[in-house]
Structure 1
Amino acid sequence: MSDLSDEVEALLEGTVPPGAWDSPFVGPESGFRNKAKLAVGGTKEAPTFGILDSGYRGVDLRDCGLYEPALARALPPLTAAVAGLGLVPFDVRARSGELKHLLVTASPDGELMVRFVLRSPGQLPRILRGLPLLREAVPQLRVASVNIQPDHKAVLEGEEEILLTEEDTLPMRLDEVTFRLRPRSFFQTNSVVAAGLYRQAGEWIGAVDPASVLDLYCGVGGFALTAALAPGRPERRIDGVEVAPQAVAGARASAADLGVAADFRVGDAGALDAVAAEMVVVNPPRRGIGAELAAAITAAAPHHVIYSSCNATSLARDLAHLPRHRVVRARLFDMFPQTRHHEVIVLLERR
């Protein structure tokens, strides 16, 4: 972890002063992943669930040590039941077959969301008929869906999602907030470290006590709902913007559960040309926020900005595009143990 910390601090040298760094947040080195993204290979009689090697042959990873305990316990009976459905694994070289991926997410309470990624909807009836067997194998199954990905390209899932269960959300309980995760919504893959990340943001928000918070790239509402519950003024205005409608629906449901006033709307956070709030929170994809959104934030001159990034290189570039703000606090979160990937959160204040 010290090597990673040194690497990230070096990437941000000149934009994050040395005295701003808090000690890194570290979770378990193994047993931390709440999600399994399993490429399906092999044959109908003997499918593999894991990855594909350089020759597109299936390599089984059902016993991977990175999965958190609830997920690790569920995968053997679940994948055995899926194998029993008789779905033909997709053959990348021949471009034939149906089942491309099996995506499984476990909540902190042990419930499961299972998504079948198929080349076409032709096998949907087979999966529907087998749903009682899947529930018998894994009673903790809460949400099941089929995603249709017809294209032959390196994209994990397609635009069409077909819900198979009455329940459409997986409750992800982190500290005080239960997030409502829908099939095509993003959620951090490390629940322990994600909870620590939101706690850190909540501490910073409570300390500066903004009257209004705008959460851009808000997803299922992680930072926005944390801001709503942070200490300070009870009338704090909370807004969130996210491009994914399912994530926005989940954020609204969580806000209703908590009884907090928060306005979440569907929109492209990166394309906003006007930003108005005492605090702006951004949690963008790896590419960062870009010069245009940085210019909009600079023009609005909020008192504080919280930037959570999974790419210190783009973070450094974006911080340089925010000349009216300076970093006063920073912390590294080891969201992806045993890798060079990372999550960094910084607090900026207006100069």
Structure 2
Amino acid sequence: MQCSYFDADRCRSCTLLGRSYADQLAGKEEHCRTLLADFPALEWLPPVASRESGFRNKAKMAVAGTAEDPQLGILDGGGRGVDLRECGLYPASLHATFPVLAEFVGRARLTPYDVPRRRGQLKNLLVTESPDGELMVRFVLRTDESVVRIRKHLPWLRQALPKLAVASANILPEHKAVLEGEREIVLTDQQTLRMGVDGVDLHLRPQSFFQTNTDVAAALYRQARAWVDELAPASLWDLYCGVGGFALHCADGDRNVTGIEVSREAIASAELTRAQAGLGRVRFEAGDATAFALAAEQAPELVIVNPPRRGIGPDLAGWLESSSVRSVIYSSCNAVSLARDLAAMPSLRPRRARVLDMFPQTAHYEALVLLERAPGGAGQRPPATRTTAPLT
């Protein structure tokens, strides 16, 4: 991928841009293989490649400049704006939204936040596109003072962006390097963006997490589902479930599935999909994944974990090691913490692994590993039993 911003040294976020894509993908798999070298019996499936450009479904644009001439992109080391509207990571459909949003900033008189001076209102614009081309636009503001003007001009924005489905204002009063605040004001009747992935309609609320590469996310869910279908567990937990991607893809009529996620927004999204699909054996609960596992009276036959970069940590790894869980599917965005967690679960042996390139042009990637209980290595907790009554 050729990038004028990279060539001009205006943006160096894509740290691998100078390497061929084939070399990038091979390097990522080699990195993961090296970190998991303590498991020589591990079967490596072919890595999943991505499009080299235009693969992102979400734009996270810092806003600088003035309301009349806003800059949408990133901030440099001094807090000044670097306009990146033509970034090659975004598809043409997202590129088309940026000039419209820039004009809206002027119409609504949304003064960009000046980081060095700590003045202004509009900090970030977050734009997400569904596979069907629908849009969610979030305005990250220092205070709610500008919300009335956003509401006033929202009809113009909806006319200019006919695919706009969800718009919201996020309030971030603190002066710190974070993307969004805790308070969200939804400005449209529709509150969720429908993300259709392999026949499953996931619903994304403004503060819910979703993978930024829809095609590779679909491949990730397909691989997990194939492993689950092969093992055919009667009961399954999806820990750190987000909007329920793994849980909903792995559900069937005879399997009890429980999804746990700390974000109530994400759980509300997952519950909406579950209800629309009529999945009586699937349930979701907002809470801490480790606390849920430690408090459970029974363990399921299979657990899927999809933790943040820090990994699952010693407490959950220890619980999995001593439990009766027969299989674990570990989805990791950080192979360093993945290797550390696997070492803490010696009775659960990694059998298969696959690298999925969720983030081309960077050193980041997703790794999916299937672990199975070694013979004679079962833990102390009794397995969950198959039931016929739906969960409530």
TM-score range, shorter chain: over 0.9
Q: What aligned pairs does 1:81-96 form with structure 2 within 5 A after superposition?
A: 81-96=104-119
Matches within 5 A, 1:276-315: 276-315=299-338
Distance in 2, Cα, partners of 1:281 & 1:255: 18
Q: Which runs of 4+ in 1 moved over 4 A?
A: none
Q: CA deviation at 1:70?
A: 2.6
Q: Offset at 1:256? A: 1.5
In structure 2, relative to structure 1, the CA distance for the partners of 1:18 and 1:29 (3 Å cut) is: farther
Matched, 1:11 2:35: yes
Residue 28 (structure 1) aligns with: 51
* Offset, 1:18: 5.6
Aligned equivalent of 1:175, options 183, 198, 205: 198
In 1: Cα distance, 2:278 partner to 2:106 partner? 43
1:219 aligns with 2:228: no
Preserved CA contact (<8 Å) 1:81 1:137: no
Look up the SS of the partner of 1:40 in the other structure: strand
> 1:46 & 1:258 partners in 2: Cα distance?
46
- What is the percentage of aligned positions where both structures have the same residue? 55
Alignment partner of 1:209 out of 232, 246, 259: 232
**Structure 1, gaps ≥5 residues long:** none
Query: Per-residue CA shift, 1:73-125, capped at 9, x if unaligned?
Result: 32332332233321110011111100000000000000000000000011110
Q: How does 1:70-219 map to 2 (within 5 A)?
A: 70-219=93-242
* 1:271–1:292 contact (8 Å) kept in structure 2: no
> Residue 146 of structure 1 aligns to a residue in which SS?
strand
Instruction: Evaluate the alpha carbon distance shift between residue 212 and residue 256 of structure 1 in structure 2; reply closer, same or farther with a 3 A threshold.
Output: same
Do structure 1's residue 243 and structure 2's residue 266 form an aligned pair? no
User: How far did residue 27 of structure 1 move?
Assistant: 1.5
Q: Supply the distance in 2 between the matched residues of 1:11 and 1:21 (Cα, whole angstroms).
A: 13
Tell me by how many angstroms 1:199 deviates. 0.3
Q: How far apart are the structure 2 equivalents of 1:188 and 1:316?
A: 22
Q: Report the counterpart of residue 270 of structure 1 in structure 2.
A: 290
Question: Deviations for 1:150-196, whole angstroms, at most 9, x for unmatched residues?
Answer: 00111111110001000000000011101000000000000000000
Offset, 1:68:
2.6
Contact 1:286 1:310 in 2 (8 A): yes
Cα drift, residue 45 of structure 1: 1.9
Contact 2:70/2:102 (8 A) holds in 1: no
Q: Which moved more, 1:81-90 or 1:244-253?
A: 81-90
Structure 1 range deviating more: 196-205 or 43-52: 43-52
Aligned partner letter, 1:6: E
Q: TM-score, normalised by structure 2?
A: 0.86
Displacement of 1:225 after TM fit? 0.5
Which residue of 72, 90, 106 corresponds with 1:67? Answer: 90
Higher Cα Rg: structure 1 or 2? 2
1:253 corresponding residue in structure 2: 272
Q: Which amino acid aligns with 1:237?
A: N
Asked if structure 2 preserves the Cα contact closer than 8 Å seen for 1:31 and 1:66, the reply is: yes
Conserved 8 A contact 2:58-2:126 = yes
Q: Which amino acid is 1:161 matched to?
A: E
Structure 2 spans left out of the alignment, 5+ residues: 1-24, 375-392
> Partner of 1:48: helix, strand, or coil?
strand
CA distance in structure 1 between the aligned counterparts of 2:372 and 2:279, rounded to whole angstroms = 26
Work out whether residues 143 and 169 of structure 1, in 8 Å CA contact, stay in contact via their aligned partners in 2: yes
Q: Secondary structure in 2 aligned to 1:145?
A: strand
Superposed displacement of residue 348, structure 1:
0.4
In structure 2, C-alpha distance between the alignment counterparts of 1:267 and 1:180, rounded to whole Å: 19
User: What SS does the corresponding residue of 1:83 show, helix, strand or coil?
Assistant: helix
Distance 1:306-1:19 versus aligned 2 partners, 3 A rule? closer
Distance 2:122 2:274 in 1: 36
Question: Following the alignment from structure 1 to structure 2, what is the Cα–Cα distance between the partners of residues 174 and 264?
Answer: 19
Shift of 1:19: 4.5
Structure 1 counterpart of 2:72, from 6, 30, 49: 49
